[in-house]
Amino acid sequence: MKTVNHWIGGKPVEGASGNYGPVYNPATGAQGTQVALASADEVDAAVAAAKEAYRTWGTSSLAARTAVLFKFRELVAAHRDEIAELITAEHGKVHADALGEVARGLEVIELACALPLQLKGELSTQVSTRVDVAAIRQSLGVVAGITPFNFPSMVPMWMFPIAIACGNTFVLKPSEKVPSSAYKLGELAAEAGLPDGVLNIVNGDKVAVDRLLEHPDIAAVSFVGSTPIARHIHTTATANGKRVQALGGAKNHMLVLPDADLELAADAAINAAYGSAGERCMAVSVVVAVGDTGDPLIEKITARAAELTIGPGDDPASEMGPLITKAHRDKVASYVTGAAAQGAEVVLDGTGFTVKGYEDGHWIGVSLLDKVTAEMDAYRDEIFGPVLCVVRTDTYEEAIELINSSRWGNGTAIFTRDGGAARRFQLEVEAGMVGVNVPIPVPVGYHSFGGWKESLFGDHHIYGNDGVHFYTRGKVVTTRWPDPADGGINLGFPSNH
């Protein structure tokens, strides 16, 4: 059986704890890999390697850092199919979706290659007689990232390229459910010339996470995952004096106004709700149909859903794959049956779906729930599966009140032909990312990703300018080079003239 170990100090390191976790192929339900689960001592070894590497990497030139990142970008692009295959084998998403994940990670590597632009600093000359003031940004030291199962290569690439370009060294703890693609990134970074210890990868569970959160040599922690864990990460790490960006869960609404192009809206709802089997924090999980849009929109979504091909991710014909684990599959199914019991109309029920020849896989079909209310569990909770709820409102005002009452504020979208309505929505809605006729408004690499309310804990979004600011700290340097004629003693308060 294949074993995924750790990557510490620029080389593979076998697990020493004696603890291993299973890694399943979601399409077959079979375990083909095991992953070493790090002890606290193994985490300490990774942090020590990063701390030692920081002594030279932290003072290296921007040119040296970006040269490595340019090469790393080339290698990731060249190996994108291999990385996507690893993602599909462990996550289950279809190959095209996995390739898209790698492409979005490459965007952030490209931003890291251009980081000298973000680190230029500021200079004010002659603020007082022969006095200049410079504002500069410097690295933090050793930083850590804890990443989720649903984007096993993209989210790590949202973190460590920016961090190391800023001069930090990095300890990555990927999800133990999908460890192989992150490990491959570590190998490619070494091949690109990244010095030993600058990027370290420790696989593990709560033991590893807790040690990272309390380790005195870690200056900052980045996290993407569920809201309860994000809250715990933020509370624990800040209590230990660390800077934290912790991105949590979501319940993303797509508002459809009566004037919208319903063909476009139906396509968008299918893509955003059922892509990657709904295992996205930016998935649309609620369509808010205003006025008389509900019936025709549901009719169009239903017709499109009937044509979806669900199957193994490595089958080119498949458009949607399985869920990550059997337990998660059962949990998602429980929301569909629960919604029916609470009064929702089940238009499509995917709970009994299976794939011939892959009966042991973690399969579920697409589900569509109509006449959902805000009191139902299917509306209140983050399902993280291919379940789309439709809530009907009479007016735009009711719809915006519904959306803004959510405890989450990650992403949202409006579908309309009315520019005034779209402008009003983008100003009034309480969410960190807004799409206008765009169902999944994930920002490009040079803007920052992050939500509001219980979708984000901490002050910084991820990547973009926020990412640069998170992984650096500001310093202001005031300099005076006296004229040779200056001198003498003056005990008065310095004056600005």
Which residues is 478 bridged to in the sheet? 133
- Integer Cα distance of 2 and 52 in angstroms: 31
Sort 484 into a burial class: Cβ within 10 Å, 0-12 / 13-18 / 19+: exposed
Going by their DSSP bridges, the two strands 472-480 and 131-139 should be labelled as antiparallel
Neighbour tally for 199: CB within 10 Å = 28
Which residues is 476 bridged to in the sheet? 135
Structure tokens at 48: 């020590």
Task: Give Cα 357 to chain centroid, integer Å.
Answer: 33
Neighbour tally for 17: CB within 10 Å = 15
Task: Give Cα 466 to chain centroid, integer Å.
Answer: 14
Active site residue 166: no
Q: Which of 113, 166, 281, 389 is catalytic?
A: 281
Helix, strand, or coil (residue 162): helix
For the chain, the helix, strand and coil percentages under 3-state DSSP, each to the nearest 5: 40, 25, 40
Nearest to 69 by CA among 166, 192, 159, 158: 192
488: Cβ contacts below 8 Å, ≥ 6 apart: none
- Integer Cα distance of 134 and 130 in angstroms: 13
Helix, strand, or coil (residue 160): helix
Nearest to 277 by CA among 330, 336, 332, 320: 320
User: 322 with 365: CB under 8 angstroms?
Assistant: no
- Integer Cα distance of 427 and 193 in angstroms: 46
Helix, strand, or coil (residue 30): strand
Residue type, 419: G
Residues with catalytic annotation? Answer: 281
